[in-house]
Structure 1
Amino acid sequence: MAHTFEELVEMQRAADEAHTKVLELRDAYGPPTQKGGWTENQTETYETAWRAWRDLDRDLGATVSEYAKEVGRTRPEIEAELRKILPDPESGRGTTEG
């Protein structure tokens, strides 16, 4: 299936938005292992957001690989080009935990 770079940008944007939601929830709820832990509703909300991000990121990765092959470039080159347009939501946060 032929893809365009613009499609990749939109997919990256959607994955980044989902990632940002996960980060916001983590900031709002605190660590899941803190004293008292999360409520059942918080756990469900976080896990739903995390799964959405994971699924979008997985689909993006597969599409970036296909696109890179189609245009004769490497996946890291394409990913770097995407990050020039859309910086990683983790930038400056000091964590890469997901």
Structure 2
Amino acid sequence: MSRRWIPICRVEDIPRLGARRVQRPGDIDVAVFRNAEDKIFALVDRCPHKGGPLSQGLVHGETVACPLHNWQIDLADGCARTPDVGCIPRFAVQVQDGQIHLDADELMS
């Protein structure tokens, strides 16, 4: 089954080491992150620990630090780094010609 990609924003619309929130149906948004190497990641915008908004966290390398309790969440798989445990859903991302796209079906589910 092929993916239906929808444009979200341009890479430069997200500051390096920052994030942008994308609204979706329901009460849990998506956080789209950009690291120092311009890699783009997308995760549910909720820490698996206490639900902190990851889009407000600090990005370093390929992790984001939850702003509530500093849990380190891996941007590639959405899982907390040891010694913490727990994972959140991640989303498929595609970048074409500087435009970030997310999978439409994943966003709507």
TM-score bucket (shorter structure):
under 0.3
Higher relative contact order (CA 8 A, sep 6+): 1
TM-score for both structures, normalised by structure 2: 0.23
**More helix by percentage:** 1
**More strand by percentage:** 2
TM-score for both structures, normalised by structure 1: 0.24
